[in-house]
Amino acid sequence: MISEELKKIIKEGNDFLVSSHINPDGDAIGGILSIGWLLNKLRKKFIIVVDSTPSEKFKYLTDFKKIVSYSETLKIDFTIKNLLTVDVPNLERLEKVNKLLPKGIKVVNIDHHESNSNFGDINFIDLRACSCTEMVYELINSFGMSLDKDVAEYIYTGLVIDTGRFRFSSTTPRAFEVAAKLSEAGARISFIAEWLYHTNSMETLKGLGVLLDSLDMNMNGRIAFVHFDNEYLKSEEGSKMDTEGFVNYPLSIENVEVAAFLQETEKGRVKVSLRSKNNNINVNNIAAIFGGGGHAKASGCRIKGTIADAKKLLLQEIRKKLT
């Protein structure tokens, strides 16, 4: 349900900073672009800023280039009065974008994570929504606007990414209803599938080979780890690959219940993606032990230490849940 309070701030407010989490995925990017589309239709002043450079995988989205990557020298030519976040469970996940926030601004929080801390002045949280873009779709509908091809593709991208191509258990009848409307509005269903899932750069495919070589099976094949060390991520080839979806390869192994994809983004700092195929193993709870979060079947966190340290710590916690 879209609250009157949410509609009011969007209708009457101005000077919005729209943002999402660091390393935005397709739902985050689709979400901020569709909010941008709505604010543009309502002739609002706004800017979209995220920490880190969005993946080029999403460059087919019309306003992709309007997403600004945070930098220390970034100048915004208006005073921010409202912050609107999409797919952000807590404000820390905005990382450096926090530096842009003046005191006393209104915060609107649109999200579907069970770990959301309700940090907004207005919180639009729907744990049943399969993607945040589905929620933005409902918001746009509540304004009675008709969709064009651009916004249909922003919303559809979030749906496809967060449902794993309408495959995850989060895929509801509503997801299909919304997808049908987006197709009617001109979203290029076949092009998006072909581009997102059947088109890879040479570096991405080679990276996948390196990743699969690192496969490390534990607990009689119930837990699978894969990783990239810092040297590979910083290498000519490694720095050009797109790792979206890589965690699904170890998860796809028969009998694997939990998969973890570890990336040593800096020396002594490991970014972890966790996935579960077992309805009784909630990886959000495992990520939370390390200060992370996400969903029951897909979560993430960061661990200080080497890849070996991170694996050891994760294994201890996952083992406890599996036994």
Residues at the site binding ligand 5GP, with contacts judged by CB under 6 A:
21, 25, 89, 93, 113, 115, 273, 292-295, 298-302
Minimum separation from the CB atom of position 298 to ligand 5GP (A): 4
Cβ proximity to ligand 5GP: between 10 and 300 the closer is 300
Cβ proximity to ligand 5GP: between 7 and 277 the closer is 277
Cβ proximity to ligand 5GP: between 88 and 147 the closer is 88
Minimum separation from the CB atom of position 151 to ligand 5GP (A): 22
Cβ proximity to ligand 5GP: between 57 and 113 the closer is 113
* Neighbour-count burial for 282-317, b at 16+ CB within 10 Å, e otherwise: bbbebbeebebbbbbbbbbbbbeebbeebbebbbeb
Minimum separation from the CB atom of position 112 to ligand 5GP (A): 9
In the block, tokens 């230490």 appear at 305
Minimum separation from the CB atom of position 303 to ligand 5GP (A): 10
Cβ proximity to ligand 5GP: between 9 and 274 the closer is 274
Instruction: Single out the residue of 70, 110, 68 nearest to residue 86, CA to CA.
Output: 110
Between CA 158 and CA 137 the distance in angstroms is 11
Minimum separation from the CB atom of position 287 to ligand 5GP (A): 6
